[in-house]
Chain A
Amino acid sequence: MFSFTRRVLLASAIACAGVATTAGHAQDLDALVAEAAEGGPVTWYESSPEEQIDQVIEAFNERYPDVELNYVRLVGGNSLASRAVQEMQGAGRTGDVLTGGADHIWQLAGRDYLERLDWSELGIPEALTPNDFAVATAASVYVVLWNTTKVSDEEAPKTWEETLDSKWAGRIGHWVRAASFAQLASAWGEDEAEAKLKEFIALKPFLFASTFPLAQQVGAGEVDVAIGFYHTAQPPIQAGAPLKAVALDPTPMHTIYTAISKDPANLAGAKLLVAWLASPEGAIAYENATSRGNPLLEGTQTYELLQGKEIVEWAPEDSEKLGQINERFNEMLAEVGEAR
């Protein structure tokens, strides 16, 4: 039932259903809380900065004061997955809860390093659980950013056509990875996405190793507009930078999944954390801290942002295909240097 490939249109019903189910299982969670409090610290591997996760932990502990949460930051999903594999191989145990992209979580599942659970027992809505090892807890959503002192709101692109307009030549920025176009291929088809990418490359975009500095540079006026992540634009916007962001239609995105490692130190605590992250309360706390919200849960800003937009993403099962497209598109984008 769960496939973004088929251009899932957001239905608020799913979210409402989610909230309802959570309430229904509150009783089961109480038993977990007692067990989790006994089980020692829960270790959580994620890639967000500690200052952000601190806020999440604070909110979590407000709800569950007796469950201790340890956070270890692993920069980038690939290093998270690699570290988890190394630890499983070397010590037979890794972080209790792992949060990362589809390819990372599926990679670990393929090695049978993840617990397989009936998520509904934890009150997690079905819409968030594509299978028995992963829960969709947030998403990184692509948006168009523009510097409001250099580009007026009227002039700013609001569609893909406007974004690819030749007037942005030498004024537009992008992440060094072409992942946005690779995700679009799930909606447009590979050929169409490639043609659009070529149009984009003709604009000679500035490429950035990470999307955070990309957003910063739009704020600073180094590039006038950019295709970047919604959450990376939030810190400069909150700091008062002349920066705005809007979602295009269709909106490419990457779902972020959370999983529980096999035989964790504190299984009950791990379950509790995952259930909480999948609840509106947890999702909103997580979004407030990291700016990455769960588009499937009503009440998050991300949900609001994507209202009426078609969101596109390859299904996790297709991640090999996505990987191939990614590699090919990345190489095309890398040619920008030679085009200069």
Chain B
Amino acid sequence: MKATAGSGFAARWAPTVLLGGILFYLVAVPLIVLLVSSVKPTGLPLDQGWTLSNYARTYSDPKFYELVWTTFRFAVGASLLALSIGVLMAWLVERTDLPAKGLVRVMVILPMATPPLLLAIGWIMLLSPRTGFINDVLVGTLGLEGAPFDIFSLSGMIFVEALSLVPSTFLILSPAFRNMDPNLEEAAVTSGAGFWLMLRRIVLPLLLPAILAAGAFLMIVGFVVFDIPGIIGMPVGIFVLASHIVYLAHDAAGGMSQYGLISAIAVFFLAILFLLAWTYQRATRQAGRFVTVTGKNFRPRPFQLKGWRWPAFGIVVVYFMLATVAPIGILTWASLMPFYASPSWEMLQNVTLANHEAFFSNRRAVQAAQNSVIIAVVASTLVALLSVLISWTVVRSKAAGKKFIDILSFMPIAIPGVMIGVALIYVYLVFSWTGIYGSVWIIVIAYLTTYISFGSRATHGVMTQLHPDLEDAARTSGAGWLRSMWRVIVPLTLPAILAVWIWVLAHCMRELSSALLLQGNNNRTVPVLLYNYWSGGQPNRAAAVGVWLVVAMLVVVSLWQFLVSRSRVGGAKG
């Protein structure tokens, strides 16, 4: 027998060194640029001089703490709402006899395809107090004094952000729900517990690691995200940290983006991230106990919703209406309008396909679509692969320094997209001979960095639940590391891997900030086109692009569901 992965030092360090190297390149480089930037007077790492003034200015300003407080309320609100909806959806889909589950899965995940920018615009068009369509209709039909809803409020921001976060929550949670031994729930019922007691005392605590992982993810996103709080909050002067970062990047006086101040704020994000990671570690210290997928072949028995089957389906439909149909509906309307206008009979005569024609006849559309597809497919595949490797190393292996790998893979989420962009510009200007600068590959690398945190969080959950016996059995059957990975770990985690893949794909298709910053002559993506229309005063054309993005995603998500359901049927028969 050759000395393979089983033996000592090399085996303990090989994964760490390999993954550590990749992650160092992807994560640590931007991180170092960020930290250096934070102690440079201009915020540009290659400029002269050192200073702490960025920190002093940021943290001595009482306004900063007001922003933190607003952001905190926003992030907590959006996370809690998204978690509640996400938990409910994951439970309904994975643990009950809800009808038409394939369709439901598509309905829950599809909102991911809507660029948050458009989601926010859509909801403004629906719920603005002056011209919001829903408000108008309600005022008209119920004879109300004033508009019943005001989207321009903290709760409005939370509502829309939560809608956009539900798919991610669902995707993080559903493998955990799927893999929980149903006997644990049944034991509660036979012990005399009613539904709510079972939910509170058994189901939720059991899923705590997964829920906390999702919660930590959502909190960070809530702190960092710009689109929705920026577009909805700003008109009424509700600012969050991210809108301040955008201000520093684009509008600050002095003629230069204030990268130094941005970096100093990003350090605060990193602190929150560490705090959350630490809380998570503590709360799930005994995660090993939660191994619930043993090799045992159990058929999860769906919870009988009985009379609640269709009402529950109705809840999903309501969510789908709110998260996709209503905003995309109003955007479709907008895409058929020559200018911004609320739906009305009078405006119906102005319906035009000009915006759609403009998109399809745009000579950059084909190239942008190609770029988007290449970037999305390559980045999502790489993220999925890397996530599995990271999760395996962190959760399963005995590799040295795996905590380090874990934290490193979680950190990019707290690094603002602009700073990743700034770092990559430097790196590939220096390595300009690679030809990566200004090409689609620099965007692929940016996305890989950005999304590795979500990917590894999602695969962690399912890897934690996978009983080590399964892998050991493969190894004792004579399979090497690679084979046992490929034949046992990958197939068993396949639903989770596919979920990660889809998630990253959808986000790459819609992601904007780093693509804008890294723009060169021929690496434009579809969202950049969308943004060009939007920022060029043609939101109706932007809406048209958004509608087609959602259509493209609908195709991808449906295809994915088709594959998943096929693999399930096959598995059941085999």
Residues of A within 8 A of B (CB): 43, 48-52, 70-79, 81-83, 85-87, 89-91, 100-108, 173, 176-177, 206-210, 212-213, 215-217, 219-223, 232, 234-236, 239-241, 319-320, 322-324, 326-327, 330-331, 333-340
Contacts and interface: CB of A to CB of B under 8 A. Distances in A.
A337 B422 contact: no
Nearest to B512: A75
A216 B339 contact: yes
B51 interface: no
Given A210-B535, A241-B339, A340 B237 contact: yes
Interface in B310-352: 338-342, 350
A107 B254 contact: yes
B519 interface: yes
B120 to A, nearest CB: 11
Contacts of B432: 90-91
Contacts of A338: 237
A78 B256 contact: yes
Contacts of B521: 43, 70-72
Given A81-B256, A222-B124, A222-B128, 8 more contacts: A70-B521, A76-B251, A81-B255, A86-B422, A219-B340, A320-B254, A337-B237, A337-B239
A48 B239 CA distance: 26
Contacts of A207: 234-237
Given A208-B235, A240-B338, A335-B237, A74 B519 contact: yes
User: Top 4 closest A-B pairs, CB basis?
Assistant: A337-B237, A323-B253, A90-B429, A49-B536
B179 interface: no
A105 B533 CA distance: 26
Contacts of A104: 255-256
B126 to A, nearest CB: 12
Q: From B236, B238, B339, B524, name the one whose CB has the most chain A CB atoms within 10 angstroms.
A: B339
Given A87-B429, A107-B254, A79 B537 contact: no
Nearest to B246: A209
24 contacts: A49-B536, A50-B532, A70-B521, A78-B250, A79-B249, A79-B517, A81-B256, A86-B425, A87-B425, A90-B46, A105-B255, A107-B254, A208-B235, A212-B536, A213-B539, A217-B340, A232-B537, A235-B537, A239-B540, A319-B253, A323-B254, A324-B253, A337-B238, A340-B237
Interface string B532-558: 111111111000000000000000000
A336 B237 contact: yes
Contacts of B252: 78
B520 A72 contact: yes
A279 B568 CA distance: 68
A220 B131 contact: yes
Contacts of B534: 212-213
A336 B519 CA distance: 35
A77 to B, nearest CB: 7
B231 interface: yes
Interface string B45-60: 0110000000000000
Interface string B262-283: 0000000000000000000000
A333 B235 CA distance: 11
B362 interface: yes
Contacts of A72: 519-521
Contacts of B230: 209
Given A51-B532, A78-B252, A323-B253, A239 B338 contact: yes
Nearest to B536: A49
Nearest to B248: A78
Given A107-B255, A234-B537, A176 B429 contact: no
B425 A83 contact: yes
A82 B44 contact: yes
A330 B152 CA distance: 20
Contact of A101 (B255, B340, B538): B255
A73 B342 CA distance: 31
Nearest to A54: B363
A337 B66 CA distance: 12
B516 interface: yes
Given A207-B234, A334-B239, A91 B429 contact: yes
Interface in B520-535: 520-521, 524, 531-535
B396 interface: no
Q: From B234, B255, B342, B362, name the one whose CB has the most chain A CB atoms within 10 angstroms.
A: B255
B346 to A, nearest CB: 10
B234 A219 contact: no
Given A70-B521, A337-B238, A75 B46 contact: no
Contacts of B426: 86, 89-90
A212 B541 CA distance: 13
Contacts of B398: none
A249 B369 CA distance: 47
Interface residues of B, number: 61
Contacts of B524: 50
B566 interface: no
Nearest to B517: A79
Given A51-B536, A220-B131, A334-B237, A326 B517 contact: no
A73 B532 contact: yes
Nearest to A240: B338
A238 to B, nearest CB: 9
Contacts of B538: 235
Contacts of A75: 250, 516, 531, 535
Contacts of A324: 253
Contacts of A219: 339-341
Contacts of B47: 89
Contacts of B422: 82, 86
Given A50-B364, A177-B251, A241 B341 contact: yes
B340 A241 contact: yes
B425 A90 contact: yes
A70 B118 CA distance: 30
B309 interface: no
A147 to B, nearest CB: 10
A222 to B, nearest CB: 5
B251 A78 contact: yes
B63 interface: yes
B201 interface: no
A103 B130 CA distance: 37
Nearest to B520: A72
Given A207-B237, A209-B231, A220 B251 contact: no
B351 to A, nearest CB: 12
A332 to B, nearest CB: 11
B539 A76 contact: no
A51 to B, nearest CB: 6
B537 A51 contact: no
Contact of A79 (B46, B250, B340, B350): B250
A282 to B, nearest CB: 20
A236 B342 contact: no
B430 interface: yes
B392 interface: no
B535 A49 contact: yes
B532 A76 contact: no
A79 B255 contact: no
B540 to A, nearest CB: 7
B285 to A, nearest CB: 42
B259 interface: yes
A78 B249 contact: yes
B464 interface: no
B229 to A, nearest CB: 11
A78 B338 contact: no
B292 interface: no
Given A90-B425, A90-B430, A216 B234 contact: no
A234 B534 CA distance: 14
B257 interface: yes
Contacts of B531: 75
Contact of B255 (A103, A173, A216, A222): A103
A319 B425 contact: no
A222 B131 contact: yes
